[in-house]
Copies of this chain bind each other. A is one copy, B any other.
Amino acid sequence: MKTLTSGEIATYCDVNLRTVIRWIESGKLKGFKLPGRGNNRVLVSDFVSFLEHHNIPIPDDLQSEISPSILIVDDEMPVAKSIQRVARRGGFESHIATGGFQAGIMLSQYNSKLMTLDLSMPGMDGYSVIQFVREQPKYKNLKILVISALDDISLERAIDLGANAALSKPFANGELIETIEKFMFE
């Protein structure tokens, strides 16, 4: 149930804020007003259907809202598959990347909403991945779920660097699906 402000919509549509407010007032764009002074909010789903209805291109970072997917980054295929199974049972689409390069490409391709990340992949520094992603404004909404066999200190460091949560491996399926759902439903 994520919402957008009039200003955000103005940015997305490359249009003046004044115009967005007029759209909402005239009913062209469905929205609602906050109690305060009547600041506007628009449901992402309403905004997306508004865009579709007018053939306006949909920004990349909203793509992940309408068809949210999970990117599973793990070099051990069996582990990745088992994560994927849990995700699928929860009804989520997911993709597997077994290397850093593939992960980068796929992340931008699918605009995933959530990325599960193995910290200790050979030759790939999970920390620097977290750090790098967090420097990119494009992925500010990406949720990062660290899944690692390392100790708690390491997990905490990952959180400090910007991961949204961390699970120690091996993980309990119940715990995993719970965490996934938390992030996928925002």
Contacts and interface: CB of A to CB of B under 8 A. Distances in A.
Interface bracket on A: 35 or more
Q: Copies per complex?
A: 2
Contact of A23 (B22, B36, B125): B36
Contacts of A43: 57
A122 interface: yes
30 contacts: A1-B57, A2-B14, A3-B14, A14-B41, A15-B34, A22-B36, A28-B36, A32-B55, A33-B54, A34-B54, A35-B54, A41-B56, A43-B57, A99-B124, A99-B125, A100-B100, A100-B101, A100-B103, A100-B104, A100-B124, A101-B129, A101-B132, A102-B128, A104-B106, A104-B107, A104-B108, A105-B132, A121-B123, A122-B123, A124-B124
